[in-house]
Amino acid sequence: MEELLKFIISSILPEKNVAISKEETEDGLITFYIKPNPEDAGILIGKGGKVIKAISQILKIKATLMKKRVILKVVSENQEN
């Protein structure tokens, strides 16, 4: 699922250096923390959050097939996980 997320983000953003960290809990919840460049954060989130919601929906389909749950969080440079 992480490879799918990296593929989607690298297709959207002009600069490919985006940090993605993964946190998995024992109850099947996977949380991805995405840390884009500050200039690219607006592109990744989209107008009204439409882009990040669409990415989240795609990953939720994949997670459902794997019998897991997934959450995406976009963090800025000054935020901690």
Could you tell me if residue 55 is inside a domain? yes
pTM for the whole structure: 0.85
Structural domain boundaries, residue 64: 2-26+42-74
pLDDT on residue 80: 56
Could you tell me if residue 12 is inside a domain? yes
Taking only the tens place, the pLDDT of each residue in 14-69 is 877 788 998 888 888 999 999 998 888 889 999 999 999 999 999 999 999 999 99
What are the C-alpha distances in Å from 38 to residues 4, 19, 49, 76? 22, 12, 16, 7
Q: For the chain, how many structural domains are there in total?
A: 1
Confidence of residue 79 (pLDDT cuts 50, 70, 90): low
pLDDT on residue 72: 94
Could you tell me if residue 34 is inside a domain? no
Could you tell me if residue 61 is inside a domain? yes
Could you tell me if residue 21 is inside a domain? yes
